[in-house]
Structure 1
Amino acid sequence: MGAYVPTVVFFDPVTEDLDIPVISQHAVRLARAGVAGITTQGSNGEAVHLTHSERRTVTRVTRSALDAAGFSTLPIIVGCGAQSTRETIELCHEALESGGDYALVLPPSYYKPFLSTDALIQFFTDVATASPIPILIYNYPGAVSGTDLDSDAIISLANHPNIVGCKLTCGNTGKLLRIAEATGAWSPCSSSSLSASPSSSPTSSTQKFMCLGGSADFTLQALIAGGSGTISGLGNIAPKACARLIDLYASGQIQEARKLQAVVARGDWAAIRGGIIGTKAALQTFFGYGGYARRPLPRWGKGEVREIVEAFEELVELEKSL
């Protein structure tokens, strides 16, 4: 109910063109596994390797595949990060036109020395005001030259009617707790979450704030701290396990949740070490599709693939049993 997956994007192994059938197949596999929603154009989706037109295509194809498979209400969160306010807003409009429901926005970082906290707050305020869809703040220091929004900044931004959540890949559960407490964030025991069709306007006051962890290895910790769930790349490999972990917590089965969290955390360590290259190698080995990341990312040799695949075996065995 609170496991969102930043979906991997797939390419033809020779031409590196988008592999539309596999993109569609993967989205439907995730939906059937019971995830709460899908994110396109995230770090796992190699957004930095895609043109604007390719971004639109990936989201449009994902929406079409989900609709055709009977998942028309499953929300799509679209990564819309860019270095300028103007391009970020443009990406938000393109996300809506392509079938996206929400935008996930990184802070700009190229001119980091000149971007104070006040400047970043103004950036998110401007984007949220102009965006045709609600936005989630994406706090991922590793992707933005170490920029790490503090809880005060995010709590302040949460007052904007078109900012409906955050993804904390910083892994700071203390920060998550402060934000969740201050915003009255949605929890898995609540009756509402992000939906593909908000009950009124995108800025509806009935939309509770979503405080999401950005990695599967601290899902339970995030939930106990008052979080709403996760947007985690590990869901590409083990969507059932990620969704099951949140279900266990929501139903009060804490000891079972702890056991599952341990397996998930070990699997996520493999995903963290292997990055998108390792995730695709694991998908190829265990599920028959995956391929390679776009250049300039390298293609691993057999030894590197074998090592990462072995690290995923425990989790995949569990995933296939669910």
Structure 2
Amino acid sequence: MQKFYGTGVALVTPFKKDFSVDTEALAKIVDFVTEGGVEYLVVLGTTAETATLTAEEKDLVIKTVIDANKGRLPLVLGVGGNNTIKVVEELKTRDLSSFDAVLSVSPYYNKPTQEGIYQHFKAVAEASPVPVILYNVPGRTASNVLPATIIRLANDFSNIIGVKEAAGDIVQAMKLIQHKPKDFLVISGDDMITLPMVLAGGAGVISVIGEGFPKEFSQMVRLGLERKVEEAYALHYKISDSIDMIFEQGNPAGIKEIFKVLNLSENTVRLPLVNVNEDLASRIETFVKKIS
């Protein structure tokens, strides 16, 4: 699974001012991050505002990314939810031939036990025709997938190849890295602690800020993987303030503000999300212009 070492980016879904999907802007963003040096693309994750997209819009986003990518980078599709039967049905019926893996979030809202989480992902693994990357993000799901559960899944199912670990807990990440099977990927889901995770033995990141600054962030991760610590941290500190800014008033409102400054897309988000306020928009614009 060398293709998933380095930087993957969680693509946004750009909207026009009338809230319709902006396929032209999405294609431009695919080109921007690809030319910036990222290693793979993640489609229809949380950052894509997937919860607000219709089935037809999801199909449109998928087609747009596949067409824009032109086979250049590996693709990962977000296929997850809190209804196990529905997730299994999508895995069995959706055409995944263009995708190298799926990213599947731990069930949210239901707050299952660790055994419930295990059984959910067991069903996912048995249904998926492509490799599965687990996604642990307790801040959104209200339940933490503990290292013991992830390692149990990794040992029991050969097609569960990694985890996007977004608990924001470096100690938990290190426990995963310490006890994981040899080829299992521990991928950061938290931009701010990506470099420490990589230096501890992680495989890289599925990033949001890497979409706004793909050249700098992907190079930082590569330097980390090469154990060039001082150079990697120089890049980390160069852009770290922007990581705080893009999450300050919610994701993807912050990253979309960066895209507006870069003239890649509008900053439109769909309710219940709203745009960042004028103060944050001004700070983001100043930072982008300083980096560019």
TM-score (norm 2): 0.91
Query: Residue in 2 aligned with 1:189?
Result: none
3-state SS, counterpart of residue 262 of structure 2: helix
Q: Output aligned runs, 1:59-208, within 5 Å.
A: 59-67=62-70, 72-93=71-92, 96-97=95-96, 99-112=98-111, 115-144=112-141, 146-159=142-155, 160-185=157-182, 208=183
Shift of 1:300: 4.5
- Separation in 2 of the partners of 1:278 and 1:74? 25
Query: Residue in 2 aligned with 1:271?
Result: 246
Q: Deviations over 1:113-133 (max 9, x none)?
A: xx2110110000011111111
3-state SS, counterpart of residue 55 of structure 1: helix
**Cα pair 2:164 2:206 within 8 Å, conserved:** yes
Change in 2 beyond 3 A, CA 1:298/1:94: farther
2:229 paired residue among 251, 254, 263:
254
Deviates more, 1:31-40 or 1:81-90: 81-90
- Separation in 2 of the partners of 1:165 and 1:103? 11
Query: Residue in 1 aligned with 2:9?
Result: 5
RMSD: 1.9
- Separation in 2 of the partners of 1:261 and 1:227? 16
Query: Residue in 1 aligned with 2:188?
Result: 213
Q: Deviations over 1:163-194 (max 9, x none)?
A: 11100111222222222232245xxxxxxxxx
Q: Does 1:45 align with 2:42?
A: no
Deviates more, 1:297-306 or 1:1-10: 297-306
- Separation in 2 of the partners of 1:176 and 1:246? 16
Query: Residue in 2 aligned with 1:195?
Result: none
**Cα pair 1:3 1:229 within 8 Å, conserved:** yes
Ranges in structure 2 where 5+ consecutive residues have no aligned partner: none
Shift of 1:100: 2.4
Q: Does 1:282 align with 2:258?
A: yes
Q: Output aligned runs, 1:5-24, within 5 Å.
A: 5-14=9-18, 16-24=19-27
Ranges in structure 1 where 5+ consecutive residues have no aligned partner: 186-207
- Separation in 2 of the partners of 1:265 and 1:251? 20
Q: Deviations over 1:48-91 (max 9, x none)?
A: 11122322221221011111xxxx15111111121211211233
Query: Residue in 2 aligned with 1:29?
Result: 32
- Separation in 2 of the partners of 1:51 and 1:33? 30
3-state SS, counterpart of residue 158 of structure 1: helix
- Separation in 2 of the partners of 1:110 and 1:254? 39
Q: Deviations over 1:213-270 (max 9, x none)?
A: 0122112100111100001111111111111102222333211111111223222111
- Separation in 2 of the partners of 1:6 and 1:98? 20
Query: Residue in 1 aligned with 2:267?
Result: 291
**Cα pair 1:173 1:225 within 8 Å, conserved:** no
Change in 2 beyond 3 A, CA 1:90/1:290: farther
Query: Residue in 2 aligned with 1:196?
Result: none
3-state SS, counterpart of residue 241 of structure 1: helix
- Separation in 1 of the partners of 2:99 and 2:150? 23
Percentage of pairs with the same residue: 25
Q: Does 1:54 align with 2:57?
A: yes
**Cα pair 1:59 1:98 within 8 Å, conserved:** no
TM-score (norm 1): 0.83
**Cα pair 1:92 1:133 within 8 Å, conserved:** no
- Separation in 1 of the partners of 2:216 and 2:290? 10
Which one-letter code corresponds to 1:12 in the other structure? K
